[in-house]
Structure 1
Amino acid sequence: MPVIFVCISLVLVPGAILAFSMGFRRITLLGLAPVLSLALVGVAAVVAPFVGVGWNIWGLIVLCILASAVVWFATNFRQRESNKKSFHHDSWLALGATVIGVASGAFLIGRRIMQLVGAPDNISQRYDNVFQLNAVRHILDTGNGSTLTLGKMAGGQGLGAVYPAVWHDLAALLVQLTGVSIPVAENAVNMTIGAVIWPISIIFLTRVVVGSKPVALIAAGIVSAGLAAFPFLLLVWGPLFPNMLSVAVVPAALAVVIMLCKLADHQERPLRLWLALMLLLPGLAFSHMSGIGALLAFSAPIIAWTVVRYVASLVRAKAPLWKFAVVVVASGAGAVVTLLVWVKLRPGDYSGWRPHQIMGGAVGEVLTNSPMGTRVAWGISILAIVGIFTMVRGRRQIWWLLSYAVAAGLYIVDAAIDPGFIRTFMTGIWYADSNRLAAYLPLFAVVLAALGFNRIVETVVGWWNRGGGAPFELGEMSAAWTKAASGAVVFALLGTLAVATQLGAIQTYIGANKQFYERNTGTSILSDDEYRLLSRIDSEVPADAVIVGNPWNGSSLVYAFADRPVLRYHLSQRKTLQESIVEQKLNIAASDPAVCKAIRELNVRYVLDFGSQYLLNHPDRLNYEGLQGLASSDAVTLVDQEGAAKLYRVKACW
């Protein structure tokens, strides 16, 4: 818990200071704090190598101070009289409801993440986590946490070296500040993303979309914990931790766009909003570039709606033609820039993910909030439908439904259409992976369900106050009793919502997927024995000695766990000729001078044998013939053993 509180401070305090310096207050300040903190972390990590300093907390602090000073003056913050007129303060009631909503979401989500992960030092025993854990160690070792170069660890060059690093930067800071292990830091960051950043961002978006409705704000926090597609899906699939971080702050970025388009009753000075938008974009991009794609896609209907409204106002005012021409030129230029960014954001032609549904089934998954085969979330889906009808009836937020249609459309295309140009063009930014697109659907479902719940509560309380639920006539009740009774009804309904959202779909999902964090299953890559052996290696192996192992059985994680270099930092890392020789012939090194030459050049001195339980049934797992049969090999000698896990020293060649 202390580590989590340190992480919460890292993702709230710097951004809150920056937001305060721009003049934001209350809900807006809280809502912008996480995404602005991520921007400061990402930019500080990129700048640090250019000024010759290693990645640490001081770089973040210095950048926060400098950026806050710049925006302070840029927004004329010291001109108090002019700023008083432009401040928009939410009521204390709305702020209190936001805090309750965030606390509710944090408790419910935190509880589920604890159930999913199982222990503070458990790791996700899946493909991408080998890279994620080792990348944190790489930042600690090199002092370089730049998004521009993190991919070099796994052999990336040029653009291939670019890898979103904010998640790893946060984990590295936690290790530096608290001294915990990398697995503990990993879980602390993920807990903070799911249980803190996500509820804050989605409640902020709810405030902007549906207005300052205390019941809706509390409901948004509760409902944010009830959908498997986010944050839990990305904790399991992949796992996609950087992607998860980016998704968690997309709501805040979208809220800024909505306010800039003047579609919310919550308004701020345009200069502040433009500054906030420009400053938060690095937070999205350096967390994961797909967040920029999501912001573009979901903002398009909102901006188009605003342009149409503006043109309609010009028509009514019989404006001169040049004003229409300006709109056409600006809209065209914006469309071209958006298209170019959209195309350039695509990492490549990923056609490995096949559709898993027919078109009707994909539509059904969207409507019932059950993407990727998860169970139907009936309660939240019904509330969301009520929210849709409320918006249609009010005719004020049709633009939000259009944005929802875009998110749904992207998921449906990826879930139901065969690989080809359409699928690649529309969903290539997300590697044509339906899991990544499914994670955005709760962004809309939570807002709609919160509005729907608010509408139901208003109806029930109105009926109660008219005497429908009172033990005697309304006229006989005091105003104080009426308010107290209404409040009791509201909190009873909120309590019912909290219980209902935690049963069924989410309960089943957590129960079915916690196996991926367990150590001694048929699919895990690290067992308890291997954990124990890894904990001793830093006292048995010199710091500069390279350890070779089959990455598919988890041995590459010795770098993250024990800070000892390995040949293979990730499972899909490209091999050099010398590395291939070692991995395919080390067991015969005593009789082959070519193998000894490669061993000496690479400084390979130890071998980890974690057996034949592999992460995936992938052909590459068999390309390590030289690391098999070591017990009878003259090239190595046994140094340590824990159960079936063994550490050998290479005695040949040295």
Structure 2
Amino acid sequence: MLLCASLLVLPGLPITYLLGLRRLTAVALAPVVVVAVVVLTAMAASKLGIAWSPLPVLGVFAGLTVVIACVVIPLRKRLPRPAAGDGWPVVGASVLGLAGAALLGALTVRLSIRGPEELIQTEDSAFHYNAIANILNTGDASTLMIDTLGVPGRAHGFYPAAWHDLASLFVMITGGSVPAAANILSISIALVIWPLGCVLLMRQLAGPSRTALGLAGLMSIAFGAFPWEMLGWGILWPNLLGLSLVPAALAALLSVAKLATEDAIGRGRAWLLVPMFGVAVTIAHPNAVISLAAVAVPVVFVGFARASIRRYRAGRRGTAALMAAPIVLAAPAYWLVVVESGLFAGTMNAESPPFESPSHALGEALTGATNGRGAGWVLAVLVIIGAVSCFRQRFRRWLVASHAISVGLYVLAAGVPGAGRRVFTGFWYTDSHRLAAMIPITGVPLAVIGTIAVVAAVRSWLSSASFLEHRRVMAARASAAALPVVVVLALVATGGLNLLDHRNRVLSAYPKVDPLVSQEEHALFERIGERTEPGTIVAQMPYNGSPVVMALSGRQVLFPQLNIGRLTADQIYLARNLSKAATDPRVCEIAGRLNVRYLLTNDIPRGNLWDGLTYPTGEGFRQIDQGGTFKLYRITACDAPAG
């Protein structure tokens, strides 16, 4: 975990430092640089025919650092001064909050995941495991190639590969297993990248406030919808990475729009970072870019409105009208691009039916009980108090509007029937889980602001309380203790910031009863790497847990994921007829072309697509291993004749 956290931050620090960022800001933005450099290097290496490994990535980081240094150092007197780093007391408060989040987060993980190599048991897990294995097998980590999963003849296209690229590098560096890399990387994203982004966003909202930054670090892991739901539902690891970058991206947009309090980034540097954020967030997951755009709508609106007003008052009416145009044209442009063009028809047509009333959905969004989970009443009260406080402070009203957008999108997905809602929710496949994950982006800073308001009210009451009227020293001490007392009470009242709810959310992907594969079957899957030759393909049925063979043994399987919508004609024929290898010449012709040499099966009901992958009853197969209900066969009928 420590190594993974270091790899997510340290390589980007020289670049953020050379760009003029300092201390907390430099550290919080370093993961964005790391993700952007890794994904671009993967795509470039693929085009140039360079095998994927840590070496080209290290070379790009070193080269980019040297290039930026060669530009910045000679021009340092003419460039803007580096951002003033926050004082060490502010940094110390931030570290204290982050450490508290890491401690509570580690406890949640320990209560829900048995060990680093425990297998996720969801529909999408096979794809993600095997995408990493495919990178390791092929040496190609490009986001344009990853979804082939090593299946010959399968068409390829764009698939967000940032998470898989990082995981593959972690396997190469540590020599660990694919499941261990997947678990450790995802937990590190949840407990390092996301909290750092939340602290940076709070820094842009509240300035160098030790209280605000310390609370932001602690409360970053308080919401169940994110990051914990993304560790247990789906499984949506690429979404986890993409959304974890959104708070830092939103913090940079506040600099661009001139809405930051004592800006720690600087407008010029923020503009330089915008393309990097675009690459990192998009290739982490396109949904995250849309989520960023959604919560940033009020920021953009206020930024353009203020710029237009300033120019109008300065007598530059033409420029003022130009700055106001995006506000006026936003709605019709959205309709033309999203609805009329059909550009997003694929996602817009996805349907996830509502499962509750709009009022129930609204209650869930406000209390953190999204998708039927447990309500966090204390946190909900703090968020509402924070929203009221922000609304009374005009310069923070945009934050309330952003939160209302996230809440509204969840209500549309979970509680409003009809196809019309998909105009707004279709980017997320109208999936209430993905939309619920947006709420903590603004929920964390609102909860922090609400906590500060409560502490201020308690201090005011203590200072004026009649029983302390003649004991000023005691009153001062009680006032100073208000913050730790409120924090401790909140931790107690919420059961360690809703720790049990978070554990249950993660546990849904790591069931301890009726596991996907038994210990004997797991051991067999690992042995397949020893029992088969490199380069050969193992035929199997995807719905019995066997796709994970690819991740555990490194051997290519014929059906590496559960989504069968893009099967090739060869795959379909072997699925139906492989058991007839001794009597059907076409079976061996296809098997020879694809290098399918083994069959792994635990038998299946007859009369479906997978009839050819049952226990073979005729000649042409030789059993070479067994584990639990699974048996591994050599397809001898297709072996080349001797001599």
Give the distance between the partners of 1:258 and 1:341, measured in 2 at CA: 26
Whether contact under 8 Å (2:246, 2:281) holds in the other structure is yes
Q: The residue matched to 1:516 in structure 2 has which SS?
A: coil
Give the distance between the partners of 1:390 and 1:621, measured in 2 at CA: 64
Whether contact under 8 Å (1:133, 1:183) holds in the other structure is yes
Q: The residue matched to 1:161 in structure 2 has which SS?
A: coil
Q: Which residue of 1 aligns with 2:92?
A: 96
Q: Which residue of 2 aligns with 1:112?
A: 108
Whether contact under 8 Å (2:603, 2:613) holds in the other structure is no
Shift of 1:324: 2.3
Corresponding residue to 2:614 among 625, 628, 631: 628
Q: Which residue of 2 aligns with 1:616?
A: none
Closer, same or farther: CA 156–488 of 1 in aligned 2, 3 Å:
farther
| Residue 150 (structure 1) aligned with residue 137 (structure 2) | no
Q: How does 1:203-352 map to 2 (within 5 A)?
A: 203-267=199-263, 268-315=265-312, 317=313, 319-329=315-325, 344=343, 347-352=346-351
Closer, same or farther: CA 533–417 of 1 in aligned 2, 3 Å:
same
Aligned residue identity for 1:218: G
Give the distance between the partners of 1:174 and 1:107, measured in 2 at CA: 23
Q: Which residue of 2 aligns with 1:497?
A: 490
Give the distance between the partners of 2:635 and 2:79, measured in 1 at CA: 74
User: For residues 76-122 of structure 1, what are the alpha-carbon distances to aligned partners after superposition, in whole Å with 9 as ceiling and x for unaligned?
Assistant: 785358644x6333232221111111111112122212322221101
Aligned residue identity for 1:647: L
**Percent of residue pairs bearing the same amino acid type:** 30
Closer, same or farther: CA 299–611 of 1 in aligned 2, 3 Å:
same
**How many residues in Structure 1 have an aligned counterpart in Structure 2?**
634
Bigger drift between 370-379 and 222-231 goes to 222-231
Bigger drift between 165-174 and 511-520 goes to 511-520
TM-score, structure 1 normalization:
0.90
Shift of 1:70: 4.4
Q: How does 1:133-212 map to 2 (within 5 A)?
A: 133-153=129-149, 161-212=157-208
Give the distance between the partners of 1:469 and 1:603, measured in 2 at CA: 85
Q: The residue matched to 2:538 in structure 1 has which SS?
A: strand
Give the distance between the partners of 1:6 and 1:612, measured in 2 at CA: 43
Q: The residue matched to 1:600 in structure 2 has which SS?
A: helix
Shift of 1:159: 9.2
Give the distance between the partners of 2:15 and 2:249, measured in 1 at CA: 15
| Residue 535 (structure 1) aligned with residue 520 (structure 2) | no
Q: The residue matched to 1:575 in structure 2 has which SS?
A: coil
User: For residues 605-650 of structure 1, what are the alpha-carbon distances to aligned partners after superposition, in whole Å with 9 as ceiling and x for unaligned?
Assistant: 211124559xxxxxx99421122243x4433222111222221222
Q: Which residue of 2 aligns with 1:547?
A: 538
Closer, same or farther: CA 208–426 of 1 in aligned 2, 3 Å:
same
Shift of 1:466: 4.9
Closer, same or farther: CA 62–596 of 1 in aligned 2, 3 Å:
closer
Aligned residue identity for 1:496: L
| Residue 637 (structure 1) aligned with residue 629 (structure 2) | no
Q: The residue matched to 1:532 in structure 2 has which SS?
A: helix
User: For residues 150-198 of structure 1, what are the alpha-carbon distances to aligned partners after superposition, in whole Å with 9 as ceiling and x for unaligned?
Assistant: 1222769999521111111111111111100101111110110111111
Give the distance between the partners of 2:327 and 2:417, measured in 1 at CA: 32
Closer, same or farther: CA 217–157 of 1 in aligned 2, 3 Å:
farther
Aligned residue identity for 1:536: R
Q: Which residue of 2 aligns with 1:605?
A: 597
Whether contact under 8 Å (2:305, 2:324) holds in the other structure is no
User: For residues 19-62 of structure 1, what are the alpha-carbon distances to aligned partners after superposition, in whole Å with 9 as ceiling and x for unaligned?
Assistant: 11100112221221122211111111111122332222222222
Name structure 2 gaps, 5 residues minimum: none
Shift of 1:416: 2.2
Closer, same or farther: CA 239–419 of 1 in aligned 2, 3 Å:
farther
Corresponding residue to 1:128 among 97, 120, 124: 124
Aligned residue identity for 1:353: S
What's the Cα RMSD here?
2.8
Whether contact under 8 Å (1:153, 1:569) holds in the other structure is yes
User: For residues 292-351 of structure 1, what are the alpha-carbon distances to aligned partners after superposition, in whole Å with 9 as ceiling and x for unaligned?
Assistant: 111222112111112222333344x35142232332456578888877876756653443
Aligned residue identity for 1:564: R
Give the distance between the partners of 1:571 and 1:372, measured in 2 at CA: 24
Q: The residue matched to 1:535 in structure 2 has which SS?
A: helix
Whether contact under 8 Å (1:520, 1:526) holds in the other structure is no
Give the distance between the partners of 1:132 and 1:568, measured in 2 at CA: 13
Name structure 1 gaps, 5 residues minimum: 614-619
Shift of 1:500: 3.5
Aligned residue identity for 1:413: L
Q: The residue matched to 2:488 in structure 1 has which SS?
A: helix
Give the distance between the partners of 2:139 and 2:466, measured in 1 at CA: 67
